[in-house]
Amino acid sequence: MDESPFLFKQLQRSLPTLCNKQFKTYFEKWSLNESLQAWMFSFDQPFQHYMADKLIKNFFNDPDVLAAVQQNDASGCWTKLEPPKSIQFEELGTTVTSMNFFDKLTEEGIVRENGNICKCFDEFYEGIPISDELRKMLLVEDSENFECYNDSERNELLFKLFMHVVIGGSLCQYEDTIQPYFDVTKSLYKDIVSVLKHPETKELNVVSKAYQVSAQDGLDRTFYPSAEEHPQNFAYIVIDPIKRHVTLLHHSWGKGFW
């Protein structure tokens, strides 16, 4: 068994979704244009599922990674990422290969047939304004529609990307129709996962592995992706074992007016 660590080299490229002219307009409107960041790296060894612990720990202690990756501190400034004392991670599902996954939104009356998102009485959750049934379903556990997606479905990377796009940043201007959220979510998902077609069944399968990660200091305090717990503070590592690429997607809620 090879005990040598995974070594990483930054790829000087951006996710196409983050560079798309139309999507940039959405990101600005949703207050994600500065707070949502992605970094891409190649790695030097074959990867198998059981190696996730090793790769993720190597990743957050690699000099090239630490030189490239930044974090958003409590003041809202981007600062250098410090080597963590420990890393926690949870595997996410990457089984979904179709946007039909979101058909339930129409079936359950969260979104109308014409694509309009149904409104609701205003309330707040973790500083997030909720004025429609979509955000309510995503965030409020005792809401009528929360259970239309079960825990396993909510743990899918596609669902999480959709939720983050819909909720946006701390100064988000929300959409009245669903299609912009679908378009950006689909594009972002395609950017960060790789799909192979089965030679016999012709079914599509995602070969990438995804993990939600957090880093702790010597006192077991979480400092990355943020020192504060919030639905919009997240860091995801997506590993492509075919291309030997790693994508790190990071967002910090930051400070707003809420």
Closest C-alpha among 7, 4, 29, 33 to residue 18: 33
What is the model's pLDDT at position 201? 83
What is the model's pLDDT at position 103? 98
Closest C-alpha among 252, 256, 255 to residue 37: 252
Domain ranges of the chain: 99-191
What is the model's pLDDT at position 255? 55
Rg (alpha carbons) of the chain, rounded to whole number: 19
Determine which of 73-82, 185-194, 237-246 has the lowest per-residue pLDDT on average.
Answer: 73-82
Three-state DSSP class for residue 232: coil
Outline where DSSP puts E strands in the chain.
8-10, 36-43, 70-72, 78-80, 86-92, 119-125, 128-132, 195-197, 204-206, 209-216, 222-224, 234-240, 245-251
pLDDT band, residue 200 (cuts 50/70/90): confident
Cα→Cα distances 184→99, 156, 188, 253, Å: 12, 16, 6, 19
pLDDT band, residue 256 (cuts 50/70/90): very low
What is the model's pLDDT at position 73? 67
How do 70-72 and 234-240 pair as beta strands?
unpaired
pTM to 2 decimals? 0.94
Tell me the longest C-alpha to C-alpha distance in the chain. Answer: 58
The pair phi, psi for residue 107, each rounded to 5°, is -60, -35
What is the model's pLDDT at position 257? 38
Do you know the residue count of the chain?
A: 258
pLDDT at 258 > cutoff 80 = no
What is the model's pLDDT at position 206? 94
Average pLDDT, the chain: 93
Dump pLDDT digits (tens) for 44-67. Answer: 999 999 999 999 999 999 999 999
pLDDT at 208 > cutoff 50 = yes
Dump pLDDT digits (tens) for 64-118. Answer: 999 999 987 666 678 889 899 999 999 999 999 999 999 999 999 999 999 999 9
Dump pLDDT digits (tens) for 153-169. Answer: 999 999 999 999 999 99
Cis, bond preceding 180 (omega within 30 deg of 0): no
